């Protein structure tokens, strides 16, 4: 499951991945983000995948990258701090990070929420 809400106080989009997370859920989230005109054009995101089991293949990462690149056309910059606590999600996210190298997209991986928020607030 994937849930997200924009925190008006922190000006950060908070995304929570829990249980089984499918490719279609991620693509739908990216499309909804792309089409949202209310988010700041420099969008800061904290993505918590500590309770997630990603149900897609390494090959599917290219689909996610493609959708993300389409979304980035509507933003000046997206800054994404990703919380991870297991080896499988770490590998998938590191591969995604390598595939998603684009100038206006910054992504980092963190083990703690406080480190992730510190990075976001200083970006």
Of 3.30.750.24, 3.40.1010.10, 2.40.37.20, 3.90.79.10, the CATH number of 2-121 is 3.30.750.24
Q: Which residues contact 47 (CB under 8 A, 6 or more apart)?
A: 15, 17, 80, 81, 82, 83
Q: pLDDT band at 51, cuts 50/70/90?
A: confident
What is the average pLDDT score of the chain? 91
pTM: 0.89
- Of 39, 17, 26, nearest to 100 by C-alpha is 26
Q: Which pair of tokens denotes residue 7?
A: 């925190």
């Amino acid at each position: 499951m994937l849930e997200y809400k924009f925190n008006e106080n922190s000006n950060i989009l908070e995304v929570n991945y829990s249980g089984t997370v499918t490719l279609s859920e991620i693509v739908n989230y990216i499309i909804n983000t792309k089409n949202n005109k209310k988010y700041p054009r420099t969008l800061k995101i904290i993505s918590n995948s500590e309770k997630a089991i990603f149900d897609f293949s390494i090959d599917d990462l290219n689909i996610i990258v493609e959708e993300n690149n389409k979304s980035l056309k509507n933003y000046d910059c997206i800054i994404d701090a990703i919380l991870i606590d297991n080896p499988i999600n770490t590998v998938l996210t590191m591969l995604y990070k390598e595939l998603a190298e684009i100038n206006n997209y910054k992504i980092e991986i963190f083990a703690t929420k406080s480190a992730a928020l510190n990075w976001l607030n200083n970006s």
